Amino acid sequence: MSALTGHPSRREARGILPWLAAPALVVFVGFAVVPLVGVFALSFTTWDGIGAIRLSGLTSWRKVLTNPGLPHALWVTFLVMAVSWAVQTPLSILLGTFLAGRQRYRAVLGVVYFIPLMLSSAAIAIAYKALLDPNFGLGAGLNIHALSQDWLGRPGLAFGVVVFVVSWQFIPFHSLIYQGGVQQIPQSLYEAAQLDGAGRIRQFFSITLPQLKYTVITSSTLMVVGSLTFFDLIFVLTEGGPGDATRVLALDMYKRGFQASLMGPASAIAVILVLLGLSLALLLRRLGGGDAGASQLEGA
Amino acid sequence: MALSRRTLLGLAAGVPVSAAPAACGSSGPGKSGGATYWYLNGQPQEGVRSSAVDAFNKAHPKDQIKDTTYQNDAYKTKIKTAIGAGRAPTVIWGWGGGTLRTYVEAGQVEDLTPWFEEHPEIKKGLFPSSFGAATVDGKIYAMPCETVQPIILYYNKRVFEQVGAKPPQSWDDIMALVPRFNAKGIAPFALGGQSRWTNMMWLEFLFDRIGGSEVFQAVVEGEKNAWSNPAAITALTKVQELVKAQGFVKGFSSITADSNADQALLYTGRAAMMLHGAWSYGIQQADGGDFVSSGGLGYMTFPPVEGGKGDPSDTVGNPAQYLSISSKAGAEQKKTARDFFATGVLQDAEVKKWIGNGSVPIRLGTEKLLAASKSADFLTFTYDIASKAKVFAQSWDQALSPTAAETLLDNIVKLFQLSISPKQFADNLNAVTAK
């Protein structure tokens, strides 16, 4: 019985498998590909979001590319990306390595660290905004002078706050990835190192870090591409301000599209964002050394 | 591997997402069913708006209005997107002016001129000055409603007593008061600078007091280099002088007006003065404990500037709020909306509530009610400003097109941050407002 039904069902499964991907494909086409094509088409039009859409060739592109706001927004986006990567990566690796230990208190701490990830960006931004208020915030409430700075009102400080809050929110997620990565490293490597007399620090740099290479690439890709789309947090926290000190590309796009009613230029920025995200992701894969699927564990 | 994980995530995310549009279709503003109406939240105004709707619904069990509320800054974006997507509410709440013009040009709102001709008594019962911002190219596209809201200079009387100072009678007085308050650790002016339009009120008055109302009128008319007018440059320079003298509260550029933190600074005595809309009186009355009722709040019109040409009676602000009818609504919904305009807007109960909140409704003939209310002094003051102003200019961001307004607000923030000079400000704006 089982032998009889086994073969046809396997053959059937082969026929069904592509169809199983269909719902996902429909969703992907409907919510990713179609809007993408739509935005690309809109970037060649003039539209105020309310009236008729008029074809206008390269007008929107010319407007965006000659606007001094674009290089500034690109620069801010790059800075947020680079600085938050540089802050998050080492901290996440250290935390992840620490949490990979099997002790019970580490598991408890792991749950605590995980909390920021469960909060929505908007809620986090509102909470920090209230805490950092120069007149009614934490500093003023506790009478701590060092804390009652004009955190969100001065360009440099506001930028620092954005990076800090972003890191606070996402370090738990990346720690989790690294924790998983560290736990994958075979214990035998450490045992061998111990026999050779390597200390903890030497073990970390000679075994843990090299073994985490692909985890670093995955986590960095998520960080870098994710940082292109930071919007909600910055929008609620600073609205891109003060002035345009924290106006990243995604925010610039929103402001032009929905506040200034310039859908054409906003679509052009969206296309730039997509291209930027794709090329960064590809670049990171390249840096990873071609075949990121290759195992580092051979022979372990 | 990467692809399959993504498609898996897509599938997981896709279920609720793909279910969402179906849900929108039934609960969103459709063509049938009752009329819909969106307006701003925030007490005490929200309560007046919702009770007007409730009263109407009670009296008209067959034509119901469903109301939804939004926060100020969020609403401005939301309503534009909804109208663009053809999902506007039946009744569109707004500020008239430049934004209304964009709706009209896109054919999104009903022409109400014939309706007002059929019901002349409705038009005659409202402040005539309120119809300016409802009119586009000679036709009326919105019903003025709610209250008249000039911008007022508020001050904290207790703080003034403490310092031994008198309210400013001129711009030079203001500049002289700044170091006196700063010396006592009190901010001279509260300002919710992140909201941007709050900073704009300063320029609105300075432009008017220095160069007269024609300076900004030239901008509205699209005159070339209107912002480079010497009076405009003087006004922009003066506001930067005030910023440099630390006239505004520390951290003003990160304070939002939606949170009412700027007003809290005034009634808690941490700031001495504040330029704000007439609606702020009701907020301070509601949130400020006994600040207003015990006579702590002082108010005056913006003082003249030495050597300025403007008429000191001129004022700026919102001449009214405006209700339009979406042209995309169904016939039944439109009828309900018109019935609401005729029998639900500014009825006696609503008028009394506005007055109770310390606002002046735009219905004519309320002098007696105003004089009898507990906020009689403030209301008479507002009524006089509104009725005696030689020019009642509309708020700049509402008078201009949304595109120009956005550039304006952006540059105002930079001006207040001292990151651009008055001349750069003028150049940046000349580029977008000249026709």
pLDDT computed for residue B85 by the predictor: 83
Contact yes or no for B254 and A242 at CB 8 A: yes
Angle at CA of residue A252, ends A147 and A59, nearest 5°: 160
**Hunting for tokens 């009678």 — which residue is that?**
B169
Quick one: how far is CA B160 from the chain centroid?
28
CB contact under 8 A, B102 and A133: no
Token readout for B172 is 């030079």
Query: Is A31 within 8 Å of B264 when comparing Cβ atoms?
Result: no
Nearest CB neighbour to B84, from listed A27, A50, A150: A50
- What is residue A63's predicted lDDT score, i.e. its pLDDT? 87
Answer whether B192's CB lies under 8 Å from B253's CB: no
Structure tokens at B416: 């207040």
Mean pLDDT, consecutive 10-residue stretches, chain B (435 aa), reads 37 36 39 80 85 87 87 85 87 90 89 91 85 88 92 95 93 95 94 91 95 91 90 95 94 84 92 94 89 93 92 90 90 87 86 86 85 88 86 89 89 92 94 84
- Extract the residue ranges of chain A whose pLDDT is less than 70: 1-14, 288-300
Which of A149, A218, A261 has the most B C-beta neighbours within 10 Å, making it the best mutation to test the interface with B?
Answer: A261
Residue B13, pLDDT score = 37
Residue pairs between chains A and B whose CB atoms are closer than 8 Å? 119
Q: Do the bridges between strand B135-136 and strand B297-300 make them parallel or antiparallel, or are there none, so unpaired?
A: unpaired
Distance from CA of B135 to the nearest CA of A (A): 19
Question: Is residue B216 exposed (0-12), middle (13-18) or buried (19+ Cβ within 10 Å)?
Answer: buried
Question: Mind telling me how many Å the CA of A254 is from chain B's nearest CA?
Answer: 10
Q: Residue B91: which H helix or E strand, with range?
A: strand B91-94
Q: Specify the pTM.
A: 0.80
B414 touching chain A per CB within 8 A: yes
Q: Among B14, B77, B105, whose Cβ lies nearest the Cβ of A258?
A: B77
Report the SS3 class of residue A292. Answer: coil
Residues B353 and A15: their CA atoms lie apart, in Å, by: 70
Please answer whether residues B320 and B146 qualify as being in contact, where contact means their C-beta atoms are separated by less than 8 angstroms. yes
B92–chain A Cβ distance below 8 A for any pair? no
| DSSP letters for A91-132 | HHHHHHHHHTS--HHHHHHHHHHHHHHHS-HHHHHHHHHHHT
pLDDT in tens, A87-113: 999 999 999 988 888 788 888 888 888
- Could you tell me which residues come within 8 angstroms of residue B275 by beta carbon, excluding any fewer than 6 positions away? B151, B152, B153, B154, B189, B191, B198, B201, B202, B205, B302
